[in-house]
Amino acid sequence: MPNLLNELLFLFQRLNWLSVLDLGLVTLIFFAILMLVRDTQAIVLLRGVILLVILLSLLTSMVNVPAFSWLVRTTLPALLFAIPVIFAPEIRRGLERIGRAGSSSVPWGQTVGDQKAIQQSINAVVSASTRLSARQHGALIILQRNDNLQEYVRTGVSLNASVTPELLLQVFYPNTPLHDGAVIIAGSRLLAAACVMPLSASGILNRSLERQMGLRHRAALGISEASDAIAVVVSEETGSISIAHAGRMIRRLDSERLENILLAFYRPPEIPNNLVSIFRRIFNRPEPKKRQED
């Protein structure tokens, strides 16, 4: 014990600001890795790998076993090369999120016509979801944002039709040719129906106490993990409406709350008043005069 305390004291005496920065960067990397694999099946595998490495390190340091120590030193580099293969889906998802970080958060442009098309599509989705929920007809509606979903559009039946509540009700009517799968909406157009979505590998649904969350909910989470799209799900068993985005799901929505959430996703960013004043001065546009009170 005294030797251990002396060694710890020696380490603290050698610390400087560069060492603290070095430790902070290593901690940040490990934290980022843990955040990437959070709520996925890979977290269980990662726990097993960490536990195995700790046990092997303790065993080789406390017991003099030369042959076993040589085996551990030989196999650990191979394990490091295997980690990118094991965690390939999580690494890909993390890189996609980093790539989307600098993109605009408002799709389909900023013109008045685009905003009107978005409003009409949201109204149609909300109306159809409410009526499907009342009839307990299952549905999966994908709203495209910045990420292109053409690879998923090609898996379904091309429609390229205007988005209306009646069309969505007809698509998801039970036992019709297009009811099984997802519809993909971009702007005011319904691009395709009966599309195949990637299933989520997340452990969120596995931990749920409710059993009404089936393949539609897994597909909704899957497309929200693979892209920045918004997925609206109507449960066939209970009729409850859910929305999935960025690997997270909000459940038991009514029509008003669903509409507010969708509008919040597509609302244009507000420009600060001081920036507006600067641009007006640059382009020699006078600021509007305030109304005088009568």
Bigger pLDDT: 136 or 52?
136
**Per-residue pLDDT at 25 exceeds 80:** yes
282 confidence band (pLDDT: 50, 70, 90): very low
**Per-residue pLDDT at 274 exceeds 60:** no
Q: Give the mean model confidence (pLDDT) for residues 87-95.
A: 64
Q: Return the structure tokens found at 133.
A: 């929920």
**Per-residue pLDDT at 279 exceeds 50:** no
User: 55-64, 216-225, 268-277, 283-292: which range is least confident on average?
Assistant: 283-292
Bigger pLDDT: 93 or 196?
196
Crossing angle for the helix pair 215-226 and 88-100, to the nearest 10 degrees: 60
185 confidence band (pLDDT: 50, 70, 90): very high
| Architecture of the domain spanning 112-266 | 3-Layer(aba) Sandwich (3.40)
Q: Give the mean model confidence (pLDDT) for residues 151-155.
A: 92
23 confidence band (pLDDT: 50, 70, 90): confident
Q: Give the mean model confidence (pLDDT) for residues 161-190.
A: 92
Q: Give me the residue label for tokens 């934290």.
A: 31
Bigger pLDDT: 36 or 66?
66
What are the residue boundaries of the structural domains of the chain, listed by start?
2-100, 112-266
- pTM listed for this prediction: 0.62
**Per-residue pLDDT at 269 exceeds 50:** yes
